[in-house]
Amino acid sequence: MNRSVSCGMGLAALMIGALPCHADDLPLRQITVDTTVTVGALRPFSGIQAAAGVAGTALYKAARVDLIRMDDMQGPGDTDAIFPDMSADVDNAKSYNFAPTDRLVASIKSAGAEPLFRIGRSRGADASPPADPDKYAQIARHIVLHYNRGWDRGFRYAIRYWEIWNEADSKLFWTGSPQEYYALYEKMAHAIQSAEDSALVGGQAISKPLIAGAYREKFLDFVRFNRLPLDFFSWHFFAVDSNDPYTFATIARQLRRTLDAHGLGSTRNVLDEWNADPAERDMSKAARASFAASALIYMLGGPIDAQTYYRADTEFIGDKGMPDEVGHALSAFGALKSTPVLIRTAGGDESGFAVVAGRSGDSRLVQVLISNYQIAAKYLQPLDNWDTSLPERRALQYHDNGGYDATINLPGPGKYKVKRYRINDSSNFALIDQSTQIGPSIHLQAALPPPGIELIVISRID
């Protein structure tokens, strides 16, 4: 073990009195984890947007993916592909081509996830409003009947999330007026719920969530005035021109206030497409990984009810179908499902150094996830003529983020196996250290400069 990189009390150290070891002389973050103080429970929060193919299924299982948004498949899942001839009889089963979408949904289910079924069209398809909104709504009704009620040799999947259109505020997906979208939403919401009264109906998957007006406040006014279901309000955001992982929690809080102000306190806040700036060329895979991990940890503390990362099948599958650093970051986050009792931590911040920890119900397993991400200096300067569709850049000064000096208070005395897995520019979720330590309190110290992620797994062995 290279003690200048990582340290803990190894077996040999235990035998000679557990002499402490030290990380390099770097400013380390003081972290405390207290397994005896619970702060909540980990909810299902491992969503992605992707097609669940053969190679992807194993990856999604490893990441414990629980929600997969169906969009941008260019065929499977698209309403116009399922019902290819708009002149056909909407009530005739022969008018529908469910086979490609059946395979897609089956692969999602086989991965142990649930679909978020977007009703509409993928990028590159016709962006104009449906010529016959009433018929389009009835097509949507039959899609729900097929997957949830067994219609046309269908299924009883109990799919919950039904999203009406994608990015109605973007000309790439909707060239109609806001009022035309409102009318389509009304017809489709009623049609979906007539097929499945327990369905969660929502939209609009807006691309500019910070822009008030037609696709935010006025849409919510329309929903309230007409007493329409809006079980979830969905939105997208890419951290363009900032690569700030905290921005998603910031936007979510603004949207939560907006929903509450419109009497929609029970409407779920769903971020179902997000990532760093897709045009950024200076971010390494490790930087993108720590960006994602820090963002997810911040989202857990923000008013976001569900999220789907964009885009798993093209973004984080590396050579030979194996996950790259981003894929492993999502797996590290998904591993927290084994320790769903969230416990108190101190020492993390909102600037990129994010910490979350949990323990199992029987208290025999504890996990700590640390993500150390630093925003590039070029994004820490304010801009003139700031684009109001983006949050303003933050002026941050980083300190004590060369690694961590952690004190972990365990459930009780005894012998514990400690394993540490790391993701950075030279390690891809590699096991970098394992040791045996004696509780009830242990001390770990390691250099972990940004970008870096560490998953600490502590299991009782007696």
pLDDT digits (tens, 9 = 90+) for 158-212: 999 999 999 999 999 999 999 999 999 999 999 999 999 999 999 999 999 999 9
H helices present in 161-278, as ranges: 178-195, 217-225, 247-261
pLDDT at 3: 32
pLDDT at 24: 52
pLDDT at 7: 42
As a whole number of angstroms, the distance between CA 309 and CA 296 comes to 9
Q: Hey, what CATH topology would domain 47-338 get? A: TIM Barrel (3.20.20)
pLDDT at 39: 98
pTM of the predicted protein model? 0.93
Per-residue CA distances from 53 to 103, 107, 324, 339, 431 (Å): 9, 7, 17, 28, 28
pLDDT at 11: 31
pLDDT at 8: 39
As a whole number of angstroms, the distance between CA 235 and CA 267 comes to 13
pLDDT at 387: 86
pLDDT at 383: 83
Q: Encoding tokens for residue 413? A: 């005395």
pLDDT at 109: 94
**Low pLDDT (below 70) residues in the chain:** 1-25, 51-55, 313-321
Domain ranges of the chain: 6-41+339-460, 47-338
Q: Mind listing the pLDDT tens digit for each residue in 96-114? A: 999 999 999 999 999 999 9
Q: Within 13 A of 49's CA, how many CA atoms are on the CB side?
A: 23
Q: Strand order in 309-310's β-sheet?
A: 306-307, 268-276, 232-239, 200-206, 161-164, 114-119, 67-70, 47-49, 309-310
Q: Mind listing the pLDDT tens digit for each residue in 268-291? A: 999 999 999 999 999 999 999 999
Angle at 93 between CA 89 and CA 94, to 5 degrees: 80
Environment class of residue 287 by beta-carbon count within 10 Å: exposed (0-12), middle (13-18) or buried (19+)?
Answer: buried
pLDDT at 74: 78
- Pairing mode, if any, of strands 232-239 and 200-206? parallel
Question: Among 134, 155, 131, 132, which Cα is nearest to 143's?
Answer: 155
Q: What is the CATH number of domain 6-41+339-460?
A: 2.60.40.1180
pLDDT at 23: 42
